Amino acid sequence: MEGGGRWTVFGVSSVVSLHTHPLVCTTPSTNDEQADESQQLCHNARWQGEMSTAVGEKRSADAPADGQPDAKSMQKAEARAAFMEVFAKLKAELLSEEPIVSQPEIARVWMERMMQYNVPWGKLNRGMAVKESLRAIEQSGQGTTADKAFQADVLGWCIEWLQAFFLVADDMMDGSLTRRGQDCWYKVKDVGMVAINDCILLEAHIYAILKTHFRKEPYYLELLELFHEVTYQTSTGQMLDLITAPIGTVDLSRYTMEAYMRIVTYKTAYYTFYLPVACAMHMAGIKDDAAFETTRSICLKMGQFFQIQDDYLDCYGDPEVIGKVGTDIEDNKCSWLVVQALIVATEEQKRVLENHYGKSDGESVAKVKQLYRDLAIEGKYEDYEQRTYGELVDEINKQKHLPKAVFEQLLAKIYKRQK
């Protein structure tokens, strides 16, 4: 789900080209000490590049276009830069508090390196959505104070920490090699299975942050329950994904629409769309159960829409735009495309899928893609996209619990997206 331009570092003494995040770090050194030094330099450059990018985006936004400043771009760049500053503060807090502050220096160094490597990357859409949602909710009142805006960003980073926890674990379960343009954490030379404990630490950080910043708030218990609940829901979605499409086993009889929708709802929709809005609702003092039910219904449908888009883009998206070459076919993913194909395929066409789906050779991938063309799967997606967008717009307009802008700004980010 993460795209964008790439930086590349070749070898130890290479020049880092400061373009756009993420940074691809490769250290083909024959000397372990040199490799460690190269990896650290590469990662430091990546962090500095992220901060420089935020500043650069703001400067670009400040520059007038046809005599007029690009207010929207400027606002986006300023919001991202402010959000990144909150991460630095939270990281420093965790390193200066118990239990890490009284541990040997080697523990503090590891913790800082682990957080820096895994947390502050990606698009950050989930985390930044908390403050955006809160401001939309409070637009008719006194507005969001600076203190509440900061707290919203803190909650946003709790979601990004949760995302990091999920991704580090997911990469080990899938046997992945790279994530966000760098080696998966467990693939880093001196990490390995220590990453299992690091997953536990990343999740524990969430509750340390919540305790520090929200224990005196009247909605503290609600936040604790919300994060525990969403973690449980996402874990069950991951479980269903793993047992439906286990690595090395292709059993297309398991690829049903019911199984697919349960996977994407629990694995993606809850923490990507519902969690940020629910956090903002608690901050705004909303207690109405019906408001949360309506929000859950709309956000889950939006999350399903988002994941189905991802599946479509994996096959039909432009790799130059989405930032990766799609591999769902080779990886035997329980994708919306293959589920749709199985629904309408003849027995002969199903045999083509059985013989070629989940295989990495180019001929097999080409045969599956040709079958998708024969079955007009792309057209089925376009029909789904228009129908679902219309349904979401109707639901947003009919609900009376929250300002429409809360949902409209989320929908605007994903409708007709190209990456």
The average pLDDT across 383-387 equals 96
Q: What is the mean pLDDT of residues 390-406?
A: 96
Active site residue 331: no
Of the residues 311, 328, 367, 407, only one is catalytic, namely: 311
The reply to whether 214 belongs to the active site is no
Catalytic residue from among 165, 214, 227, 273? 165
pLDDT of residue 334: 94
Residue-level pLDDT at 27:
40
d(CA 27, CA 13): 10
Tokens representing 374 are 């024969």
pLDDT at 323: 67
36 is known as an active-site residue:
no
Tell me if residue 241 is catalytic.
yes
Question: According to the model, what pLDDT value does residue 29 have?
Answer: 38
69 — pLDDT class (breaks 50, 70, 90) = low
pLDDT band for 318, please (50, 70, 90 cuts).
confident
pLDDT above 90 (res 367): yes
- Catalytic pick from 91, 267, 333, 367? 267
More confident call, 66 vs 290? 290
7 falls in which pLDDT band (50, 70, 90)? very low
Check 62, 174, 190, 394 and give the catalytic one: 174
Confidence of residue 140 (pLDDT cuts 50, 70, 90): low
Percent of the chain with pLDDT over 70: 82
- Please pick, among 179, 333, 380, 419, the residue that the annotation labels catalytic: 179
CATH superfamily of 124-414: Farnesyl Diphosphate Synthase (1.10.600.10)
Q: Which of 306, 328, 407, 419 is catalytic?
A: 306
pLDDT of residue 180: 83
Look at 49-53, 267-271, 355-359, 392-396 and tell me which has the smallest mean pLDDT: 49-53
User: Catalytic annotation on 165?
Assistant: yes
**pLDDT confidence band for 18 (50 / 70 / 90):** very low
Query: Can you give the pLDDT at residue 59?
Result: 42
Predicted confidence at residue 85, as pLDDT, reads 96
What is the pLDDT at residue 42? 53
Q: What is the pLDDT of residues 93-125, one digit of tens each?
A: 999 999 999 999 999 999 999 999 999 988 899
Please tell me which residue in 171, 198, 310, 328 is annotated as part of the active site: 310
Q: Domains of the chain: which residue ranges? A: 124-414
170 as an active site residue: the answer is yes
Lowest mean pLDDT among 49-58, 70-79, 281-290: 49-58
Task: Please tell me the pTM assigned to this model.
Answer: 0.82
Q: Which of 76, 108, 123, 262 is catalytic?
A: 123
pLDDT in tens, 264-287: 999 999 999 999 999 999 999 999
Q: How confident is the model at residue 10 (pLDDT cuts 50, 70, 90)?
A: very low
Maximum mean pLDDT: which of 40-44, 66-70, 325-329: 325-329
Selected catalytic residue, list 170, 187, 301, 359? 170
Percent of the chain with pLDDT over 90: 69
Q: What is the pLDDT of residue 176?
A: 83
Q: What is the mean pLDDT of residues 8-15?
A: 28
383 is catalytic: no
**What's the pLDDT score for residue 17?**
31
Residue-wise pLDDT for 193-252, tens only, equals 999 999 999 999 999 999 999 999 999 999 999 999 999 999 999 999 999 988 778 899
pLDDT of residue 158: 98
